[in-house]
Amino acid sequence: MMKLETILDLMKRLKLFITTAFLIYFMLIPLPAFAMHVMEGFLPIGWCVLWYAVSLPFIVYGLRAIKKIVSDKPSLKMLLGLSGAFIFVLSALKIPSVTGSCSHPTGVGLGAILFGPTAMTVMGSIVLVFQALLLAHGGITTLGANVLSMAIAGPFVAYATYRLCRSINLPQWMGVFLAATLGDLCTYTVTAIEMALAFPATDGGFTVSAVKFLSIFAVTQVPLAVCEGLLTVIVFNVLSTYSVEELQELSLFSNKGCN
């Protein structure tokens, strides 16, 4: 069973890493802050309603998944909370990108590997609500769009990638790295598509607009995605070291996984 002391020790290490990253970020990249995923009021109301409608069923299903996790294995509550904290901290590291949005890590890959994608839909949604209300990072009207990109598309791609790596017997570290990296990139691909749908180019429509948004996002997001993949491998390995017995209760850590 994962002890509270090991969780606190891991969180202290993670806090030190993030603090150091923040210091380096503000010293070397003195950019103005644009605190948003897709910012409040940026999308037309019709698109806001649509993305809410698309996201809601995933959140409902995710709540059921979390209820099952905590009822079957109550000792995993702390690890689930840690996965949520990982999302909150990483997604707060933002670099200005396309007008009305920004680039940042997502952190959803780790939780998707540990608990599956639907649980991370709920955890990611909670993070997005807190950031919108307390940090002016994102918005309530655009919450559905941000949930779809970061809390639905990202975790599902990360989970599918990791499962694929298991099926073809790639090294576990590579599966974790690819899952976190591709989950991050998928988040911003969906964000770019959402913005292109809402604001198609005058000449060329959706396709031209999507290519433009994806090209601009790539400048900042590709390096961030690679960094997130590396960090997720480190955290994953630390978790495995601290609590092998507890983590082996999760099917994704069984001996049938990527070794």
DSSP H or E segment with residue 153: none
Q: Indicate whether 193 pLDDT > 60.
A: yes
Rounded to whole angstroms, the Cα distance separating 151 from 189 reads 13
DSSP H or E segment with residue 214: helix 205-242
Burial of 176 (0-12, 13-18, 19+ CB in 10 A): buried
Q: What are the C-alpha distances in Å from 165 to residues 11, 28, 152, 239, 258?
A: 28, 36, 20, 20, 7
Tokens of 238: 């630390």
Backbone angles phi, psi at 22, to 5 degrees: -60, -45
What is the architecture of the domain spanning 36-251? Orthogonal Bundle (1.10)
Least confident of 11-15, 28-32, 49-53: 28-32
Q: What pLDDT shows up at residue 52?
A: 95
Amino acid at 91: S
SS3 102: strand
Closest CA to 226 of 110, 52, 105: 105
pLDDT confidence bin for 153, thresholds 50/70/90: very high
Rounded to whole angstroms, the Cα distance separating 254 from 259 reads 10
Tokens of 50: 């649509």
Amino acid at 73: K
Structure confidence by residue, pLDDT tens digits, 54-108: 999 999 999 999 998 888 888 788 888 888 888 988 887 766 554 545 567 888 9
Tokens of 251: 């099917």
Helix/strand/coil (H/E/C) assignment for every residue in 4-29: HHHHHHHHHHHHHHHHHHHHHHHHHC
Q: Indicate whether 211 pLDDT > 50.
A: yes
Q: What pLDDT shows up at residue 205?
A: 87
Mean pLDDT for 174-203 is 90
pTM of the model: 0.77
Name the residue with tokens 């994962």: 2
Rounded to whole angstroms, the Cα distance separating 208 from 111 reads 34
pLDDT confidence bin for 232, thresholds 50/70/90: very high
